[in-house]
Amino acid sequence: MDPTHFNDTDVEIQILERWRPIVDADLPDADVVIATWWETAEWVAELSPRKGAQVYFVQHHETFSYLPIDRVEATWRLPLHKIAVAQWLVDLARERYDDHDVSLVSNAVDHDLFHAPPRGKNPTPTVGLMYATADFKGCDISLRAFDLSKQRNADLRLVAFGTEPPSAWLPLPPLTEYHLKPLQHELREIYARCDALLFGSRSEGFGLPILEAMACRTPVIGTPAGVAPELLSGGGGILVAAEDPESMARGVERIVGLSDERWKAMSETAFVTAARYTWENATDQFEAALKRVLEKAQTLVRTE
């Protein structure tokens, strides 16, 4: 955890002296205690009732090859109330783990940070992407789609950003404008300079770059990972087939080939869609979910 994430809050932070499970002695008595990923779900399940009704804030299905998959899956069966960030996680809980009582609370963006005035298409067609070498991020898919589109439209330009320098085994195309670790206001400007954002993820809990780009009036061409199906179904971008650079390339060609008027309409749809995902709405929904957890816990106590 990076403690600077809490710099603008009045949250009290306690950092343990070493890595170890959280135990009762580390926490005050409370109404609710929240796990934020599979390992902390194991810890929360072992806490006493004094530490609060137990909640599992589910941000992904973390069955990755480098993790103990049996233990990860077991956390989904623990008697913790789940709050999920995307509909696919709610569906997964129901279909695979027979949990029919999961709260949906989507992520959001700070619209004071991510915004842009109405604009038209760029004179030079420009697409953006988030660069990452992790395979599940699907950057190779997006880059291949750009290459295919570039072969058909030599003027096409790429703007990319990421948290790591470009790798020799996943190189960026020549003349790519790359921004390493941009600040939040710089990221907003990057999004707002693009005609479309490429989102090629193979696996994603939510997919926050989609929402950030749309808040900056940039349509997204995305694979059906994370929240992409919900966000793009309204017309603020194009949902393309997974693992299919050609499908994504056709999406690029469709968007850059739009008339200025039709592109502005898609851009406005993206913006209006993102505008529904506010921190105010998300916190209200999260608070409502926690109150529901408390009501369930109190009902259980009365019936025992």
As a whole number, mean pLDDT of residues 137-142 equals 98
The amino acid at residue 283 is T
Domain extents in the chain: 3-108+279-303, 126-275
Q: What is the mean pLDDT of the chain?
A: 95
- State residue 270's pLDDT score: 99
As a whole number, mean pLDDT of residues 118-123 equals 97
In tens, the pLDDT along 273-283 reads 999 999 999 99
3-state helix/strand/coil string of 4-51: HHHCCCCCCCCCCCCCCCCCHHHCCCCCEEEECCHHHHHHHHCCCHHH
- State residue 12's pLDDT score: 82
d(CA 93, CA 78): 12
- State residue 14's pLDDT score: 85
φ/ψ (deg, to 5) at 179:
-115, 115
d(CA 164, CA 150): 24
3-state helix/strand/coil string of 201-259: CCCCCCCHHHHHHHHCCCCEEECCCCCHHHHHCCCCEEECCCCCHHHHHHHHHHHHCCC
- State residue 193's pLDDT score: 98
Token duo for residue 262: 């039709």
d(CA 3, CA 303): 42
In tens, the pLDDT along 203-217 reads 999 999 999 999 999
131 pLDDT more than 70: yes
Helix 208-215 and helix 184-192, axial crossing angle in degrees, nearest 10: 70
62 pLDDT more than 60: yes
- State residue 300's pLDDT score: 65
As a whole number, mean pLDDT of residues 37-55 equals 97
Compute how many other C-beta atoms are within 10 angstroms of the C-beta atom of residue 48.
11
Length of the chain: 304
d(CA 299, CA 120): 55
Q: Are the C-beta atoms of residues 200 and 218 closer than 8 Å to each other?
A: no
Band the pLDDT of 44: cuts 50, 70, 90: very high
In tens, the pLDDT along 68-81 reads 999 999 999 999 99
Token duo for residue 115: 């915004």
11 pLDDT more than 90: no
d(CA 63, CA 203): 11
User: How many angstroms from the chain centroid is the CA of residue 299?
Assistant: 34
In tens, the pLDDT along 249-261 reads 999 999 999 999 9
In the sheet with 53-58, reading across from the earlier edge strand, the strands are: 32-35, 53-58, 81-84, 103-104
φ/ψ (deg, to 5) at 80:
-105, 140
245 pLDDT more than 90: yes
9 pLDDT more than 90: no
301 pLDDT more than 70: no
171 pLDDT more than 60: yes
Beta bridge partners of 80: none
Compute how many other C-beta atoms are within 10 angstroms of the C-beta atom of residue 38.
23
Q: Are the C-beta atoms of residues 50 and 59 closer than 8 Å to each other?
A: no
2 pLDDT more than 70: no
d(CA 6, CA 158): 34
What is this structure's pTM?
Answer: 0.91
Q: Are the C-beta atoms of residues 41 and 35 closer than 8 Å to each other?
A: yes
d(CA 142, CA 156): 14
Domain 126-275 top-level CATH class: alpha beta
- State residue 294's pLDDT score: 93
As a whole number, mean pLDDT of residues 162-190 equals 97
Band the pLDDT of 302: cuts 50, 70, 90: low
303 pLDDT more than 80: no
45 pLDDT more than 90: yes
